[in-house]
Structure 1
């Protein structure tokens, strides 16, 4: 794929809950800004040029693969993976921002936004924010 295969659909504004999940929020924030620089592999720790690689109607949109850009990779600012921080925030409404993972304590850079309530994700995925503006962009992608 090349850049001409993709298109912009709009802006999503997120609120991050630093008081509840400070480590998770810091990972996401730094990946947004790119301020942690380059990984040992030489690739940048940055969401720039990543895509939403997964969109499931009536469920989620998912993105943030900073390694392979296709959903098969990811890396955190703390190393390859980091532990689950908290399960206080529930997936009880559309627009919840949460970490994607491959099981307990496997958070990296991939994240998702719910398009409907997803209580079955509670105590499995670390939610750490929510959509404050641009939810129509989320629904358009799903």
Structure 2
């Protein structure tokens, strides 16, 4: 169901899945980010993200667990976004969905845009969604129309702010290992 009124979209929120990502480094537990998935707007992308949080699909094409747990946050652009979800290589080069390697874009024009706290599927161009995702820490309208917004952060922006304080190299790669130490779905 597509609607253009944000108030109507928020009424549907009770039916949407809620997942969490617990972010840590070797020395620090940053905290938990809670995410509402837009299963009514982008059902395939939302189901992919949900299943990668729970790990319920087992191993994928690359013989790796289809699970975010233990995967790295491999890119942090301070004040803009953080990116993770490469459970294959951990460096941003691996990407696999629950549907195979990649899957097609869903509605890129729905009402939720890349506002602060948007959770989107990272891609390498049209119809290349897999496991990688990013979370915006600021409004990013330049990303609208190019990435599927799969959900939004409902709690934990303070956690993301702490992660954004991690020192990174010139390629925006964290100098310490930042990873998803736990993840799943709230019932």
Whether TM exceeds 0.5 here: the answer is: yes
Q: Secondary structure at the match of 2:107?
A: coil
Cα offset, 1:41, TM superposition = 3.2
For structure 2, the 5+ residue unaligned runs are 1-23, 165-187
Matched, 1:84 2:105: yes
Q: Where do 5+ consecutive residues of structure 1 fail to align?
A: none
Structure 1 residue runs of 4+, over 2 Å off?
Answer: 3-8
| Distance in 2 (alpha carbons) for counterparts of 1:40 and 1:72 | 15
Shift of 1:36: 0.6
- State the match for 2:56 in structure 1: 35
Q: 2:118 aligns with which of 92, 96, 107?
A: 96
Q: Does 1:59 align with 2:80?
A: yes
Which structure has the larger Rg? 2
Root-mean-square deviation (Å): 1.5
How far the C-alpha of 1:57 sits from its partner, in A, is 1.2
Greater per-residue strand proportion: 2
For these two proteins, the number of residue pairs brought into alignment is 139
Comparing 75-84 with 32-41, which one deviates more in the overlay? 32-41
Match of 1:22 among 27, 35, 43: 43
TM-score (norm 1): 0.92
